[in-house]
Homo-oligomer: A and B are copies of this chain.
């Protein structure tokens, strides 16, 4: 049994907590939270503390707070035992300012409290500063997920960046589609089967095989027609993404 303490109460903390509770190899002994926010999303049987000095002794301390708070928060962890890990894709292991051994456990997913996720399916990238800690962190990660990777910081920050395009930016394309529909009094519901199938194709193939549309065909007539229907901001994005698609597929 790996004794685990979770520090945080955001979306990642909620989902880690649920995964800990399901695991037979993890003893989830305590949770630290600065505030009482989101308490309802956590199992009430896990002791919660709001004072960092009351932390128990554990094998792994997992910091699941917002990226920009990690450095300052970790300065408060003055103990030497155990392994302290953060969960940020975009920060090196050295971002941790604690005195104990350090590592990273980065789950690559978009988390919402009200969404149920199967953690077993979520890729986790792990890294430890000291090699001697690696086996412990790996066994924790493998308890949580079937997809455990060992990427270094250089790779991990590129995965984080790729995730911005794959999630944040694709979602903004959905938002522009939403705005176009809304302006014509069309329910966004009509696009949902298309969006589901867009992701479904990617699950079975690569994006270059799934690409279709006027930009892929370099169909100037349709592109010109589309541009006339858009506002200035939408036009800028349409032009740039279309140019990028044309360049991607013409050069091959």
Contacts and interface: CB of A to CB of B under 8 A. Distances in A.
A245 B207 CA distance: 23
Report the contact-size class of chain A (Cβ under 8 Å from the partner).
35 or more
23 contacts: A108-B191, A110-B194, A110-B197, A115-B204, A157-B229, A158-B184, A159-B181, A159-B186, A162-B176, A162-B186, A164-B215, A164-B238, A165-B177, A167-B195, A167-B213, A168-B245, A169-B241, A172-B241, A192-B202, A195-B202, A196-B199, A233-B247, A237-B240
A130 interface: no
Interface string A190-222: 111111111111111011101111111001011
A225 interface: yes
A82 interface: no
A118 to B, nearest CB: 9
A191 B185 CA distance: 34
Given A161-B180, A166-B198, A240-B237, A175 B208 contact: yes
Contact of A195 (B194, B203, B248): B203
A173 interface: yes
Contacts of A200: 115, 199
Given A172-B207, A213-B164, A108 B192 contact: no
Given A68-B221, A164-B238, A167-B194, 14 more contacts: A67-B222, A115-B200, A157-B225, A158-B183, A159-B191, A162-B176, A162-B177, A167-B213, A168-B214, A168-B216, A172-B245, A176-B244, A195-B202, A196-B203
A188 interface: yes
